[in-house]
Amino acid sequence: MTRDTALNTATRYFDTGGFVRDLRELVAHETESQTPDKAAKLAGYLEEALIPRLTSIGFACRIHQNPVQHAGPFLVAERIESEALPTILTYGHGDVIRAQTEQWRDGLHPFRLVEEGDRLYGRGTADNKGQHLINLAALESVLQSRGSLGFNSRILIEMGEEMGSPGLSEFCAQNKDILAADVLISSDGPRLRSDTPTMFMGARGGISFDLIVDLREGAHHSGNWGGLLADPAIILAQALSTVTDARGQIRIPEWRTTSLTGDIRLALRDLPLAGDGGPEIDEDWGQEDLTPAERVFGWNSFTVLAMKSGVPEAPVNAISGHARAACQLRFVVGTDLDDILPALRRHLDAQGFGVVQIVAHERAFFNATRLPPDHPWVQFVAQSLENTSGKSPHILPNLAGSLPNEVFADILGLPTVWVPHSYRGCSQHAPNEHVLKPLCRDALQLMTGLFWDIGDSGGPAVPRGKN
């Protein structure tokens, strides 16, 4: 059996409808971790959809309860072929963001897979059910073709990533032995271009919080009290205007990173960002002296996710007593997570906005991570992807979004390489989420080739723990 045999097995699985059939089954599980009455669905996904598939190809599986009360469980599966072989840890999450059912266009439903042309619609198709299905199917293709993987495989599936991965760090810290590996190779997020493989080796961190101005109980007539009562919405808007300038450039010194070094800039040079299904980039937004790629992969960005004062859907002639803005900072390596909110407090106080409260969202943070682009595992994976696709992959020091990579890099001490199987126009976290069939077919081949190459060569010679 050869590498081409394994690639043909993966291609046949897709071309004969196996991938669409299996993805349809996964999407049908209503695994909204942010919806309390769907809690029973989370364990059901692991028990009904994943464990039978994994045990059929020689994995020992166990569901572990979350150390955080009421948070979703974890599945750990392993296939150990020899203690002398390298061990690859693969991660995914089976929970999905809120369904937003009423906002999907006619003919679509979040928990029914709908095939239209080159698109497969459904909640979780891109984030993350379709992505970990591709990786499982690639492992199966290698096993069918060679009879063994040629390496040890450990798989961790969590059911709370869309809630900020509660309990994941505690679980991994308590279970380092059953998660020990030489490298994390996993999939989440989008490619830069749908027709070209992408790799990233970390992620921007993210922290979410509310800014609140709470001045009084109830609202008061704007004619009788206008000019006499302070308006919390105006105060909040003025406070927000001090965080960035008019083009979104961050004004808080502690939020401006120093880690955009020459080697990172070189890695980001000439990466494509425009087109491919996403909105048009606003060239006059963000840090003025940086390229678009440097702004989104090498710099920090502040966002107001939502704002409210009064009742926008039905305004009345009254001055509200309360205003709130849900905010977020995405940040790269070199930003001190523990000082982000204290720095904001110092800044607002210095600007005269002591009345503005800062309330951190529960579990709404990830730290920033990054693996050097010249790491041996990065070079090994890049070469494998190029051998399969005939294209040099786009290599990012870190993803622009946030995911719990710090758990694997910092707690488990692993080098981390992510190979995403979606694209930037996939409507992730929005209505009409979908994946592209040609991209999924290509990704099945890429991951099958990568797993074959690891089993064939043992991967690069890197001592365990050297990340």
Domain limit, last residue, from 338, 366, 394: 366
In a domain, 280, yes or no: no
The answer to whether position 199 is within a domain reads: yes
Whether residue 45 is found in the same domain as residue 177? yes
What CATH number does residue 162 fall under?
3.40.630.10
Judge whether 463 lies within some domain.
Answer: no
Residues 160 and 308 in one domain: no
Least-confidence region, from 270-284, 333-347, 393-407: 270-284
Q: What is the pLDDT of residues 375-427, one digit of tens each?
A: 999 999 999 999 999 999 999 999 998 889 999 999 999 999 999 999 999 99
Judge whether residue 278 has pLDDT over 80. no
Residues 168 and 102 in one domain: yes
* Tokens of residue 200, six digits: 């990233």
| Tally of domains in the chain | 2
Does an H or E element contain 142, and which?
A: helix 129-146
Helices and strands, counts by H and E, the chain: 14, 19
Distance (Å, whole) CA 74 – CA 268: 35
Q: How many CB atoms lie within 10 A of CB 389?
A: 17
Could you tell me which of 325, 324, 348 has the C-alpha nearest to residue 254? 348
For helices 340-350 and 232-243, give the axis angle rounded to 10 degrees. 120
Same domain, 329 and 439: no
Predicted confidence at residue 366, as pLDDT, reads: 85
Q: Are residues 160 and 22 in the same domain?
A: yes
Contact assessment for residue 324 and residue 233, using Cβ atoms and an 8 Å cutoff: no
Scored b (16 or more CB within 10 A) or e, 390-412 reads eeebbbbbbbbbbbbbbbbbebb
- Cα 421 from Cα 441, distance rounded (Å): 10
Domain of 327: which CATH number? 3.30.70.360
Whether 272 is in a domain gets the answer: no
- Segment 303-325 shows an average pLDDT of 96
pLDDT of residue 466: 60
* Beta bridge mates, 244: 250
pLDDT of residue 461: 80
> Quick one: pLDDT band at residue 329, thresholds 50, 70, 90?
very high
The answer on 374 and 358 residing in a single domain is no
pLDDT reading at 276 higher than 80: no
Q: How confident is the model at residue 465 (pLDDT cuts 50, 70, 90)?
A: low
Instruction: State pLDDT tens for residues 425-436.
Output: 999 999 999 999
Report pLDDT digits (tens) over 183-228.
Answer: 999 999 999 999 999 999 999 999 999 999 999 999 999 999 999 9
- Residues 339, 377, single domain; the answer is no
| Residue 103 and residue 249 in one domain | no
Q: Are 181 and 89 in contact, with CB atoms under 8 Å apart?
A: yes
For 220, the domain range is 205-267+287-366
**Which of the four pLDDT bands, split at 50, 70 and 90, describes residue 463?**
low
For residues 179 and 252, state if they share a domain.
no
Per-residue model confidence as pLDDT tens digits over 49-108: 999 999 999 999 999 999 999 999 999 999 999 999 999 999 999 999 999 999 999 999
pTM: 0.88
Which among 323, 348, 366 is the end of a domain? Answer: 366
Q: Can you tell me whether residue 308 is helix, strand or coil?
A: strand
Q: Is residue 50 part of a domain?
A: yes
Identify whether residues 83 and 219 lie together within a single domain: no
Q: What is the pLDDT of residue 432?
A: 98
pLDDT at 464 over 70: no
| Together in a domain, 424 and 394 | yes
For residue 200, the number of C-alpha atoms closer than 13 Å in the C-beta half-sphere is 26
**pLDDT on residue 226:** 96
Is 99 inside any structural domain?
yes
Q: Is residue 444 part of a domain?
A: yes
The answer to whether position 276 is within a domain reads no
Q: Residue 362 — very low, low, confident or very high, per pLDDT cuts 50/70/90?
A: confident
| pLDDT reading at 239 higher than 90 | yes
- Among candidate residues 318, 339, 366, the one where a domain is terminated: 366
**Same domain, residue pair 20 and 160:** yes
